């Protein structure tokens, strides 16, 4: 074991039995476990956040199947590297099994040409492709590759899984077992909590804590809560403002406002701001929610949201978070009605797909002399000339008479 390698690398599992976490896919009764053990593996795309075990699982699969294992990184590799890997897989002297596991890390970074270069070899079975990606593969990976692969979603590791991995690292001779380390359960839990489901972050932080702490007079390295916390950057946020978590978070933000839960809405707002989301983008979403979800139940919500967007533009961060919070809470706690939203959707559907007839002549404009002789504006009744500023007359085209678009609900007071 090369102890110059990072702890996270040294602690990678060598078998399925050593693999910790992701029980929903590698548990003994689960499909992937059975497929690997039966040596019936087909191409797979491993999709999950950083540090959840994608690379480790790919390596475990290669060790279990005993196929030649070739690893490429999509950031630094091109079509020539793919062709070289295929040639080596086809060479029976170098690869008697005739098959190869080709692991491509960050496969979403391959362009269409590079992904297309894989297709024939995946299809004829020359390579078993294992692609790893933090991005949603249904958006980022060639549809032809997706159709020939099993997409497996990995989740952030549970706190207890990371605690177990940390304890293994503290006792393993390949890990930190050669050091005399004193660390409490509480501190181990702190490290697991800070890492937020990313085992690489947990092990890197632990290694920094151990290597930068002096031994006490008894030759023991004592890792306290304070030392552990100092060995990490601020708590790792599971958020990528351009990736899948961006869409998940903004969806949760909008639905929390719609669902009248101000606490959840503020939480997702904070998560977005912490992840570097554009505050103006968030302000626009609040404006849309005010119109779509609050609507006529509280028309003032749109005024508040629009003012908030203007204020965010003028003030900027960090003070803009106060403005966003106020608008978020106002929209979340307002009565809700989507009557206007439904009305315009129904009308747009009819206008696009039906013969809706012509505008009645009496409500058409007659700006030029002579147009009235053709019936433009003839018979129009001016509502303000009547009691209550209202008079019964036809406004919809003949073909649309009786159509209802705006249907008030019990939350609308006006």
Geometric angle at alpha carbon 23, from 22 and 29, rounded to 5°: 140
For the whole model, what pTM was predicted? 0.62
Is 60 exceeded by the pLDDT of residue 350? yes
Q: Is the pLDDT of residue 324 over 80?
A: yes
Q: Distance between alpha carbon 48 and the CA centroid of its chain, in Å?
A: 10
Going by their DSSP bridges, the two strands 44-47 and 150-153 should be labelled as parallel
Q: To the nearest whole number, what is the mean pLDDT of the chain?
A: 86
| pLDDT level of residue 366 (50, 70, 90 thresholds) | confident
Residue 242 has pLDDT above 80, yes or no: no
Q: What domains lie within the chain, and their CATH numbers?
A: 22-153 (3.40.50.300), 159-230 (1.10.8.60), 244-333 (1.20.272.10), 345-400 (no CATH)
Phi-psi region of 44 (alpha: psi -120 to 50; beta: other; left: phi over 0): beta
Residue-wise pLDDT tens digits, 192-228: 888 888 888 889 889 888 888 888 888 889 988 888 8
Burial class for 28, CB neighbours closer than 10 Å (0-12, 13-18, 19+):
exposed
State the virtual CA torsion across 99, 62, 31, 51 in degrees, nearest 10. Answer: -130
**Residue of 105, 106, 193 lying closest to 156 (CA atoms):** 193
**pLDDT for residue 346 is more than 90:** yes
Q: How confident is the model at residue 121 (pLDDT cuts 50, 70, 90)?
A: confident
Residue 132 has pLDDT above 80, yes or no: yes
Per-residue pLDDT at 1 = 52
Return the biggest CA–CA distance within the chain.
Answer: 108
The residues with which 152 forms a beta bridge, in sequence order, are: 46
Tell me the pLDDT band of 284, cut-offs 50, 70 and 90.
very high
| Residue 83 token pair | 């062709």
Structure tokens at 16: 């399925």
Q: What is the DSSP letter of 236?
A: P
Q: What is the pLDDT of residue 376?
A: 85
The tokens 């690997």 sit on which residue? 36
CB atoms within 10 A of CB 183: 23
Q: Binning pLDDT at 50, 70 and 90, where does residue 412 land?
A: confident
pLDDT (tens digit per residue) in 44-86: 898 888 888 888 888 888 777 777 788 888 888 888 888 888 8
3-state secondary structure of 358: coil
Secondary structure (3-state) at 69: strand
């Amino acid at each position: 074991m090369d102890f110059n390698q990072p702890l996270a690398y040294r602690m990678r599992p060598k078998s399925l039995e050593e693999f910790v976490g992701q029980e929903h896919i590698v548990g003994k009764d689960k499909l992937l476990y059975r497929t690997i053990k039966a040596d019936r593996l087909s191409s797979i795309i491993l999709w999950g956040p950083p540090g959840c075990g994608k690379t480790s699982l790919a390596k475990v699969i290669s060790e279990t199947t005993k196929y030649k294992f070739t690893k490429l990184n999509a950031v630094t590799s091109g079509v020539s590297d793919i062709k070289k890997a295929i040639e080596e897989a086809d060479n029976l002297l170098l690869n008697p099994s005739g098959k190869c596991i080709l692991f491509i890390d960050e496969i979403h970074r391959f362009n269409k040409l590079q992904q297309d270069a894989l297709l024939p070899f995946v299809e004829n079975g020359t390579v078993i492709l294992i692609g790893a990606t933090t991005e949603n593969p249904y958006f980022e990976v060639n549809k032809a590759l997706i159709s020939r692969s099993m997409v497996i979603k990995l989740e952030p590791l549970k706190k207890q899984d990371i605690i177990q991995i940390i304890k293994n690292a503290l006792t393993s001779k390949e890990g930190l077992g050669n050091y005399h380390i004193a660390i409490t359960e509480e501190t181990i839990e702190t490290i697991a909590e800070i890492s937020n489901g990313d085992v690489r972050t947990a092990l890197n932080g632990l290694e920094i804590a151990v290597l930068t702490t002096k031994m006490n007079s008894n030759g023991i390295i004592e890792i306290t809560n304070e030392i552990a916390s100092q060995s990490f950057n601020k708590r790792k946020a599971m958020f990528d403002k351009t990736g899948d978590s961006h869409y998940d978070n903004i969806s949760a933000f909008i639905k929390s406002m719609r669902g009248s839960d101000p606490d959840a809405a503020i939480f997702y707002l904070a998560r977005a701001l912490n992840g570097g989301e554009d505050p103006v983008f968030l302000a626009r979403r609040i404006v849309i929610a005010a119109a779509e979800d609050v609507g006529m139940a509280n028309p003032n919500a749109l005024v508040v949201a629009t003012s908030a967007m203007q204020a965010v533009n003028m003030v900027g961060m960090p003070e803009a978070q106060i403005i966003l919070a106020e608008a978020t809470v106002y929209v979340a706690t307002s009565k809700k009605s989507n009557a206007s939203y439904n009305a315009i959707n129904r009308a747009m559907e009819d206008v696009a797909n039906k013969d809706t007839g012509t505008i009645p002549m009496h409500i058409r404009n007659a700006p030029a002399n002579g147009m009235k002789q053709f019936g433009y504006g003839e018979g129009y009744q001016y509502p303000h000339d009547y009691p209550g500023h209202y008079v019964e007359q036809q406004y919809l085209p003949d073909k649309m008479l009786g159509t209802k678009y705006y249907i008030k609900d019990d939350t609308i007071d006006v």
